Amino acid sequence: DAGVTQSPTHLIKTRGQQVTLRCSPKSGHDTVSWYQQALGQGPQFIFQYYEEEERQRGNFPDRFSGHQFPNYSSELNVNALLLGDSALYLCASSLPASGIYEQYFGPGTRLTVT
Amino acid sequence: AQSVTQPDIHITVSEGASLELRCNYSYGATPYLFWYVQSPGQGLQLLLKYFSGDTLVQGIKGFEAEFKRSQSSFNLRKPSVHWSDAAEYFCAVGAEDSGYSTLTFGKGTMLLVSP
């Protein structure tokens, strides 16, 4: 049973560029959440997708957008990159409808903006 | 809005000694509480969770945590620490308005294990 997978592992971008990160949820999970973890900080919730729609959103600007596909995989897009966007981006999947609320995290994508 | 405080940024424990990592939360209703561990360069692994019922919960790798409503705390404990426990530990609370499926994390406690 594959867990949550993310790609790429590492990414280096320049200020002003756009980036797309990808996530495949744990088998059977239908809800995907994205978190940003800056160096020395705990993860911060960006948004959550369910049934291909954004269901919840944290305190992040519109430069951060996402998408969920029919197979429940998801993408996180960040436009007009800033130096402060450098962080570990974590994807988590869950199945809230089952009554099991824990989230399973992927290994993350390390984004460096120069 | 909910919040989580982990007062200790770093803790050093001798191998074989007991461990307690502190976590305090702020939330208006009964919280769903979690402890996660993160090894360097890795994602987060769930150690244990509290939803309801018995306030002492057991997790993986010999960890346990106790929910104390009166103190708004959910401290993580282990009776004997192993060198492999060195990692960063995060406490998190689940948000009710999303069906407890989004998490607010503390800033983490880095555990160092000395020989």
pLDDT digits (tens, 9 = 90+) for A14-51: 999 999 999 999 998 999 999 999 998 999 999 999 99
Token readout for A92 is 């988590």
Can you tell me the distance from the alpha carbon of A57 to that of A34, in angstroms, rounded to the nearest whole number? 10
CA distances from B96 to A9, A108, B31, B43 (A): 32, 25, 8, 24
| B5 at A interface, C-beta within 8 A | no
Percent of chain A with pLDDT over 70: 96
Q: What is the pLDDT of residue B46?
A: 93
Residues of A with Cβ-Cβ distance to B107 under 8 angstroms = 40-42
Confidence of residue A99 (pLDDT cuts 50, 70, 90): low
Q: With an 8 Å Cβ cutoff, is B47 touching chain A?
A: no
Asked if the C-beta of B102 comes within 8 angstroms of chain A's C-beta atoms, the answer is yes
Q: What is the pLDDT of residues B59-73, one digit of tens each?
A: 999 999 999 999 999
CA–CA dist A22, A91 (Å, integer): 9
Nearest to B101 among A31, A35, A106 (CB): A31
pLDDT for residue B100 is more than 80 = no
Residue A1 has pLDDT above 70, yes or no: no
Give residue-wise pLDDT tens across range A50-66: 999 998 899 999 999 99
How would residue B94 be classed by pLDDT, with cut points 50, 70 and 90? Answer: confident
Q: What is the mean pLDDT of chain B?
A: 91
The verdict on a CB contact (< 8 Å) between B102 and A4 is no
Amino acid A2: pLDDT: 75
pLDDT, position B42: 81
Q: Mean pLDDT over residues B108-112, rounded? A: 97
B42 touches chain A (CB under 8 A): yes
CB atoms B32 and A101 under 8 Å: yes
Interface test with A, best of B103, B104, B107, B110 (most A CBs within 10 A): B103
Distance CA B32, CA B103 (A): 9
